[in-house]
């Protein structure tokens, strides 16, 4: 079955711009891109992974492997997943000691209940709202009982933002500014327990909208 249009167009855009994107955003989490609150939430997620017990943790929609590198630096077994072969090539060059695999938000290359945790760091921004429930269901499938999930995204009221140029290159790339309540509702509807949410105002030059973060957990006892 062919991939949905929003997946194929997003993949093509990132394949075409993977090198310049990595030059701009870097291959590590940094204060140039993430604010103090963002980095603190990632730090809290790492603390929650203290009981991973050797099970893998996923950076879902990993791009050039920035979150994957942070997790690996704290001794976690990490798998980075992305739909763009171009981005995966950049990630593998930057982080040769980390495993990176081709996969979709709705089709992760991991067994049921195998992940100790997962981070979706701005990876749902190209997913239309009507597909968020499917993403939540796939994450629930992949997470072990009691595993944690951290999701970050650009907040709004469902606005659709289309770009025909990225870093000087012609592309067709659409992003969505999801409402935090809608994302939380989709995760809860899939069976995940929403533990916390935060929204901060735009504070960096590259931000034009508030930034949202949701921490969730899979049920302790499988459904």
Domain boundaries, the chain: 5-144+152-190+199-217
CB 86 within 8 A of CB 18: yes
Condensed to tens digits (0 to 9), the pLDDT of residues 149-165 reads 999 999 999 999 988 88
Q: What is the pLDDT at residue 169?
A: 81
All residue ranges of the chain with pLDDT < 70 are 1-2, 222-223
Rounded to two decimals, the pTM is 0.95
Q: Which CATH number does 5-144+152-190+199-217 carry?
A: 3.40.50.150
Distance of alpha carbon 56 from alpha carbon 118, whole angstroms: 9
Q: What is the pLDDT at residue 212?
A: 97
């Amino acid at each position: 079955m062919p991939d949905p249009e929003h997946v194929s167009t997003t993949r093509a855009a990132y394949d075409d711009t993977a090198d310049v994107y990595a030059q701009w955003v870097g291959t590590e989490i940094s204060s140039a891109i993430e604010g103090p609150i963002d980095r603190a939430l990632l730090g809290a997620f790492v603390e929650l992974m203290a009981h991973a017990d050797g099970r893998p943790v996923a950076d879902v929609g990993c791009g050039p492997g920035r979150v994957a590198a942070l997790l690996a630096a704290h001794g976690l077994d990490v798998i980075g997943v992305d739909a763009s072969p171009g981005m995966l090539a950049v990630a593998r060059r930057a982080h040769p000691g980390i495993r990176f695999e081709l996969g979709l938000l709705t089709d992760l290359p991991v067994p049921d209940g195998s992940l100790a945790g997962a981070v979706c760091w701005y990876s749902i921004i190209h997913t239309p709202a009507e597909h968020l429930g499917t993403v939540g269901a796939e994450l629930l499938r992949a997470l072990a009982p009691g595993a944690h999930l951290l999701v970050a995204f650009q907040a709004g009221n469902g606005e659709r933002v289309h770009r025909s140029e990225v870093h000087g290159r012609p592309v067709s790339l659409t992003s969505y500014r999801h409402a935090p309540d809608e994302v939380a509702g989709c995760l809860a509807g899939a069976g995940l327990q929403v533990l916390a949410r935060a929204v901060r105002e735009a504070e960096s030059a590259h931000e034009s909208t508030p930034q949202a973060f949701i921490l969730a957990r899979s049920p302790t006892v499988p459904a």
